[in-house]
Structures are given as structure tokens and as C-alpha cells.
């Protein structure tokens, strides 16, 4: 029997995502000036206020207030009407030194024996239903909000948008897990105040359906475009007026959108957030590494869909184990446990090896903190970092290295394909 599956995304202006982006901007600046920095930084945003808290071990000093303000202004909170504005909000820092009890379990005389920064399990997932091996409902939700942000910045076709927004897509699948059509699309967007609420609601719905959605559809391949039928149920700002938003409407915290950050409810999630953590924290680095494995395995034709789990003990380099689930879609004559054994042979999952393989000790994290950490474009960019205490640093870095299909040939050879 056909079934429905739903995923959601939130915009860069959502309160929780503001917090994620500030935390990851701090990570990037620490790593730019001291690549060996150990950082765990949480951010809280609310009406007119930002609170930074966390633990740091680093040889550099940063103007954390300026970094936070720059992120807020970049997102678009630049007007006092929003009750949260980059140049005027308060920024309180409660960042202190990392516990030596934790650090002694991570640092080792031999870098290769670097211990995991915490215990826990991490998951990576991939499916061949999209070109980037991501679940379709989440991919479309991200696209809708990226395009909505682009329309906001253009300020031409739609001129009333404010930064906070959410999107949700429901897709009907056939019995054999193939997308058939889009059942419903939900978009809630913050907006300027209108004199007439009824007129406002009608205009927003019309603009989303007739301007935003066609721009999204135009970017898609024909087989995905055909899912956008005239029967889609649209729920646009379904509660009505949405003027009060952002941190004034809802307090934001780092790490509260971990399903948006990963697979939209498909696969699994170990529970640990990513943003605000340097790569010694396996919550982040091992989640990227398992995504890299799952994507390369599916791209190599091992299965149509794959979930990979890895687990660690704090201070121990070697993982506790690797688990694989192909959901019955394996194309090779091996059980999932046997596939997991081959993965152990192909991929060194010690924390230091992951850092080196995926180039994680670089300032590459602010870009991950909105619109998902997975399924993104792997590219090389130049970034410049400023500090009141030293000269600016210009670095050429590679983003989203875990999205590279650089192990496909090795996998095919190992599996005899």
C-alpha cells in the first residue's frame, strides 16, 4: 500500500539556526587561527540578547562579540523592528577553559591514537532517490527555504519577507519506495506588518505558489518536476499573521534542529548535535564519516539505500563497532554484517584518521549550519578571518568533503563489481 513521508527544514533566520551559525562561526575562527583548538560552544538567542557558553582550549583569542554580530547581520536581522538586531543586541560570553579531565582522554603523544571526544553512536545514511543521495522530502524542503531567502535578499518580486521561515514537504511513495507525487507543501514565513490581514494572507499564499515554487521547480530534473501536480495541498502561513518571529518570537538554542541537519527523519540519528563542536567531537566528525561511507557505498551500487552506524567510548581511538542496514536493497550477495566487515577494512574510523581523510581541522563549518550538513556541494572556497589581536588570515578550504564520491572505485574493487 502506498504511504506518505514528510520532512521539514528551517531557514537561516530561524532562532535555532541563528544559534547554530554563531556557534559554528566561532569554531571556524578558532580553527583558522589555531587548527588544534578544542571547542564546544553553545549559543542562546532571545529578544535583544545573545548568550555564548562553552569550553575552549586554544592558543588564540577572539572578539566573540563581533563574530556573533557579523553572523546576525549576514542572516538579515538588521532592523530594530525585529526586536533582535545585530548591531544593538547584547552579547554575553560565558566561555571558559576546557576540562583537563576531558582533554586527557583526547590528546595523545601519537596523533593516530587520539581518543574519541565522547562516547555515543553516530549514523550516516544515503539513498539513490536523488542525485545527491539525500531523501527527497528533505532536499525539497531545503531548496524551498534557500530560494525563499534568495527572494528576500533580492527584495524585488517579494519585498515583505523577514528572515524567519519553515518549510515541510509530504511525498507519496509506492509500495516499492518510489516517489509518486507531492501530497502537501507547508511554508510559514515571517513578514512585515500589513494593514489588512486577509489581504496579507492571500498575497503571501499567491506569491509562494506562483513565484517561489516555480523557481524551485525550474532547478529540478524532469522526473522530480513531474511530482509537482496541480493537486498539491498548500498550507501557507496556516496560523495567519507571522510578524513576530526570530529570537523575539521564540528563543533559539544550538543543536535543536538535528533532524533538519541530517536526513529529515529517514535513516536514524545518534542524538548528538553538530554545530559548535570541533572535529575531535565524534558526534560531528563520525556523523560526517558515516555519511561519506553510506553515500559512496550507494553510489558504487552496493545498495539502493544504506544506513551506517559507528560507536565510540570516550578516550578510546578504535570504534566499538560498525553496523549496516541496507533495508533489503543490497545488490551484492552478502549479508549486512558482512558488508559492515568490508567497510571496516576500507575506512579507518579512528577520530584522527577521520579528521585527516575529510580535512576537518579547517574552518569549514559556518556553511554547514543552515540548510543541512549533508547533501551539500563539495567545493573549494577562499575565506578571510579577522582578529583584533593578529593579522588577518586568508585560507583556501574545501567544503563538505564528506560529500565527495572518492571511494567508489575502491569499494567496487573490494566488492568485485
Residues contacting residue 179 through CB under 8 Å, at least 6 positions apart: 129, 136, 171, 172, 173, 224, 227
- The domains of the chain are located at 3-10+136-245, 16-109, 120-128+258-381+398-415
Q: Which CATH architecture has domain 120-128+258-381+398-415?
A: 2-Layer Sandwich (3.30)
CATH class of domain segment(s) 3-10+136-245: alpha beta
- Residue 274 assigned to a binding site: no
What is the spatial distance between Cα 32 and Cα 205, in angstroms, rounded to a whole number?
43
Q: What is the pLDDT of residue 27?
A: 98
pLDDT at site 104: 53
Which tens digit of pLDDT belongs to each residue from 344-366?
Answer: 999 999 999 999 999 999 999 99
What is the pLDDT of the chain when averaged over all its residues?
A: 94
The residue among 89, 87, 102 whose CA lies nearest residue 39 is 102
Where helices occur in 211-350 by DSSP H, the ranges are: 213-217, 222-225, 246-249, 258-261, 282-299, 336-346
Q: Is 181 annotated as a binding residue?
A: no
- Is residue 164 annotated as involved in ligand binding? yes
Q: Which fold has domain 16-109?
A: GMP Synthetase; Chain A, domain 3 (3.30.300)
* 256 assigned ligand-binding residue: yes
Q: Does the annotation list 273 as a binding residue?
A: yes
Q: Tell whether residue 16 is among the known ligand binding residues.
A: yes
3-10+136-245 matches 120-128+258-381+398-415 in fold: yes
Task: Find out whether 55 is annotated in a ligand binding site.
Answer: yes
Does 241 appear as a known binding residue? yes
- If pLDDT is split at 50, 70 and 90, which confidence band does 194 have? confident
Please tell me whether 277 is known to bind a ligand: yes
Ligand-binding site membership of 154 (annotated): no
**pLDDT tens, residue by residue, 246-303:** 999 999 999 999 999 999 999 999 999 999 999 999 999 999 999 999 999 999 999 9
The model's pLDDT over 367-408, given as tens digits with 9 standing for 90+, comes to 999 999 999 999 999 999 998 888 999 999 999 999 999 999
Q: Give the span between the Cα atoms of 272 and 16, in whole angstroms.
A: 15
Q: What is the model's pTM?
A: 0.95
Report pLDDT for 112: 67
Amino acid at each position: 500500500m502506498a504511504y506518505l513521508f514528510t520532512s521539514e527544514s528551517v531557514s537561516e533566520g530561524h532562532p535555532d539556526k541563528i544559534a547554530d551559525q554563531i556557534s559554528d562561526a566561532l569554531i571556524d575562527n578558532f580553527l583558522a587561527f589555531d587548527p588544534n583548538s578544542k571547542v564546544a560552544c553553545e549559543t542562546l538567542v532571545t529578544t535583544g540578547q545573545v548568550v555564548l557558553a562553552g569550553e575552549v582550549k586554544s592558543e588564540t583569542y577572539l572578539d566573540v562579540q563581533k563574530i556573533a554580530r557579523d553572523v546576525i547581520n549576514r542572516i538579515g536581522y538588521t532592523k530594530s523592528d525585529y526586536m533582535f538586531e545585530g548591531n544593538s543586541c547584547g552579547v554575553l560570553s560565558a566561555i571558559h577553559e576546557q576540562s583537563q579531565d576531558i582533554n586527557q582522554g583526547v590528546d595523545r603523544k601519537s596523533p593516530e591514537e587520539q581518543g574519541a571526544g565522547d562516547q555515543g553512536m553516530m549514523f550516516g545514511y544515503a539513498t539513490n532517490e536523488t542525485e545527491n543521495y539525500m531523501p527527497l522530502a528533505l532536499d525539497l524542503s531545503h531548496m524551498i527555504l534557500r530560494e525563499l531567502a534568495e527572494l528576500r535578499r533580492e527584495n524585488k518580486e517579494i519585498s515583505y519577507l523577514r528572515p524567519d521561515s519553515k518549510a515541510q514537504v509530504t511525498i507519496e511513495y509506492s509500495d516499492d519506495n518510489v516517489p509518486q507525487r507531492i501530497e502537501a507543501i507547508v511554508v510559514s514565513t515571517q513578514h512585515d506588518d500589513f494593514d489588512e490581514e486577509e489581504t496579507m494572507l492571500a498575497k503571501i499564499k499567491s506569491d509562494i505558489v506562483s513565484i517561489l515554487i516555480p523557481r524551485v521547480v525550474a532547478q529540478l530534473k524532469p522526473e522530480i518536476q513531474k511530482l509537482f501536480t496541480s493537486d498539491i495541498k498548500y498550507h501557507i502561513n496556516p496560523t495567519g499573521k507571522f510578524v513576530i518571529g526570530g529570537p523575539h518570537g521564540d528563543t533559539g538554542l544550538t543543536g535543536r534542529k538535528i533532524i533538519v541537519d541530517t536526513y529529515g527523519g529517514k535513516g536514524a540519528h545518534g542524538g548528538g548535535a553538530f554545530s559548535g563542536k570541533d572535529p575531535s567531537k565524534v558526534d560531528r566528525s563520525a556523523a560526517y564519516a558515516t555519511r561519506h561511507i553510506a553515500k559512496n557505498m550507494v553510489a558504487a551500487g552496493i545498495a539502493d539505500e544504506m544506513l551506517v552506524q559507528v560507536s565510540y567510548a570516550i578516550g578510546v581511538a578504535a570504534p566499538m563497532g560498525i553496523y549496516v542496514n541496507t533495508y533489503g536493497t543490497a545488490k551484492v550477495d552478502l549479508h549486512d554484517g558482512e558488508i559492515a566487515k568490508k567497510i571496516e577494512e576500507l575506512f579507518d574510523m579512528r577520530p584522527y584518521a577521520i579528521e585527516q581523510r575529510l580535512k576537518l581541522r579547517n574552518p569549514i563549518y559556518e556553511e554547514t549550519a543552515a540548510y543541512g550538513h549533508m547533501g551539500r556541494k563539495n567545493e573549494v572556497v577562499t575565506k578571510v578571518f579577522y582578529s583584533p589581536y593578529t593579522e588577518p588570515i586568508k585560507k583556501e578550504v574545501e567544503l563538505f568533503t564528506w560529500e565527495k564520491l572518492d571511494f567508489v572505485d575502491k569499494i567496487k574493487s573490494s566488492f568485485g563489481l
